Amino acid sequence: MRKSPGDVRDSILDYLATMDSASITEIYDAVENRIGDVSPSSVRSWLNLNVPGRIERLDRGRYRLKLEMPPKTSNSDFENIAIGKTRMIAADCFDWLRRREPNSIHAVVTDPPYGLNEYSVKEQAKLRNGRGGIWRLPPAFDGHRRAPLPRFTILTHEDRVSLRAFFLEFGRLLRRATVPGANVLIASNPLLGHIVASAMNEAGFENRGSIVRLVMTMRGGDRPKNAHEEFSGVSVMPRSMWEPWIVLRAPLDGRVQDNLRRWKTGGFRRVSDDKPFGDVIRSHPTPPKERKIAAHPSLKPQSFLRQIVRGALPLGEGIVFDPFAGSGSTLAAANHVGYASIGVERDRNYFELARKAIPQLARLVAEPIDPL
Ligand SMILES: C[S@@+](CC[C@H](N)C(=O)[O-])C[C@H]1O[C@@H](n2cnc3c(N)ncnc32)[C@H](O)[C@@H]1O
């Protein structure tokens, strides 16, 4: 079959979207893998035609997709409101980050989308109409209504490749906007966290482990579907009893002490003089009184968020950013601990919800939980 120049172009662009950079041999192999035999010269000439342009040539003959930046750097055009020490913005965070001044965010605490389309207009309409779709609508259980969860187990190989591309681009935009030493804490799950961590590493963040949020969820532990009795002693997946939060850091500018002096970042704020910030935090499912204030399907609890938001700025100075703000629970936690914050949310319903929910969540007396 004859390959059109469009096939070569699409394969190069798709491949580079999943890599920070690649050599010409790697690009050629990826194109051949995808569309079969092609001449090396067609790959080389497409690259030559697009440098400079959509592609950058780096040292040592490596190529990468250029981050698209708009001509101006102002981001004041986006609709935004002030709520306490929070600025909440109605926008797509990729657009907003492209316009954000470099070195102007000191910590990130966020709970991103994982299915990539669970927050699309189509899937949100299904969720709002109680039809499920990618959302698993669990039956009432023990007399309680359970919150819907997205079905991460139905993601295909292509979905995973797109997820990696999504976080690679997100990471590269975020890297530019964060100061050296900025902590980036990302809510994750045991099935997909490794993809996010590796894409964010490739985008330039250092991997600094994870925080364990100890919480029992409804996921896992079940016996095989339609064969419960035959395999009554089997759980298909371990019953999930914790939620991983990926911990990353923008590379330091000098030693930790230099970074702390210059950028106010480079470590975690201690819980107290004799208690360092720890990476296992006892938690609970989001309490009903918080769900009543902010009916977002992925609402995280204040008691947990307040601890990690507080810990994320070592000196308590700077701006905490949540690019996937939802109903604003991270920003409410930042308001509660007295930090300045910025949140971006693309869905108009959730933006309006956050406007109302942030002050109420920030004021709330969080449900007590025994610290470890
Ligand atoms: C997992 S939820 C976060 C919910 C949040 N933890 C809370 O407690 O309300 C992810 C949010 O990101 C939003 N979102 C998805 N893609 C986005 C994008 N490109 N820019 C901004 N927001 C986005 C979705 O609409 C959704 O509200």
For residue range 290-338, list pLDDT tens digits in order.
999 999 999 999 999 999 999 999 999 999 999 999 999 999 999 999 9
Q: Are residues 265 and 139 in the same domain?
A: yes
Which tokens in the block code for residue 84? 């306490």
If one compares 34 and 253, the residue with the highest pLDDT of the two is 253
Query: Mean pLDDT across the stretch 51-61?
Result: 86
Average pLDDT, the chain: 89
Cα(135) to ligand 1 centroid in Å equals 15
Cα(225) to ligand 1 centroid in Å equals 31
Q: Whose CA is nearest to atom 4 of ligand 1?
A: 326
What is the value of pTM for the model shown? 0.82
Residue 146: pLDDT band (50, 70, 90) is low
pLDDT at residue 205, as a whole number: 98
Q: Are residues 173 and 44 in the same domain?
A: no
Residue 277 lies in a domain: yes
Query: Mean pLDDT across the stretch 40-58?
Result: 89
Query: Mean pLDDT across the stretch 140-153?
Result: 54
Q: How far apart are CA 96 and CA 82, in angstroms?
A: 17
pLDDT at 76 over 90: no
CATH code, domain carrying 46: 1.10.10.10
Q: Whose CA is nearest to atom 18 of ligand 1?
A: 92
Residue 130 lies in a domain: yes
Residue 175 lies in a domain: yes
Cα(8) to ligand 1 centroid in Å equals 34
CATH code, domain carrying 300: 3.40.50.150
Q: Are residues 272 and 319 in the same domain?
A: yes
Residue 370 lies in a domain: no
Domain finish residue from 14, 36, 65: 65
168-221 pLDDT tens trace: 999 999 999 999 999 999 999 888 999 999 999 999 999 999 999 999 876 778
Q: Are residues 107 and 197 in the same domain?
A: yes
pLDDT at residue 143, as a whole number: 47
pLDDT at residue 1, as a whole number: 59
DSSP, collapsed to helix, strand or coil, labels residue 368 as coil
Q: How far apart are CA 368 and CA 252, in angstroms?
A: 36
Using CB distances shorter than 6 Å, the residues near ligand 1 are: 92-94, 111-113, 119, 296, 298-300, 324, 326-327, 329, 344-347, 350
Cα(351) to ligand 1 centroid in Å equals 10
Q: How far apart are CA 178 and CA 158, in angstroms?
A: 30
Task: Compute the Cα dihedral for 290, 294, 299, 303 and give only its sign.
Answer: negative
pLDDT at residue 131, as a whole number: 67
Cα(23) to ligand 1 centroid in Å equals 35
pLDDT at residue 292, as a whole number: 97
Q: Whose CA is nearest to atom 19 of ligand 1?
A: 92
Cα(326) to ligand 1 centroid in Å equals 4
Residue 72 lies in a domain: no
User: Which of 329, 345, 352 to mutate for ligand 1's pocket (most ligand atoms within 8 Å of CB)?
Assistant: 345
pLDDT at residue 137, as a whole number: 58
User: Which of 114, 118, 324 to mutate for ligand 1's pocket (most ligand atoms within 8 Å of CB)?
Assistant: 324
DSSP, collapsed to helix, strand or coil, labels residue 217 as coil
Q: How far apart are CA 248 and CA 181, in angstroms?
A: 9
Domain that holds residue 245: 79-363
Q: Whose CA is nearest to atom 3 of ligand 1?
A: 326
Q: Does the bond joining 52 to the residue before it have cis omega, within 30 degrees of 0?
A: yes
Residue 369 lies in a domain: no
Query: Mean pLDDT across the stretch 65-72?
Result: 70
Cα(188) to ligand 1 centroid in Å equals 13
Q: How far apart are CA 280 and CA 345, in angstroms?
A: 28
How many structural domains are present in the chain?
A: 2
Query: Mean pLDDT across the stretch 354-366?
Result: 96
Residue 125 lies in a domain: yes
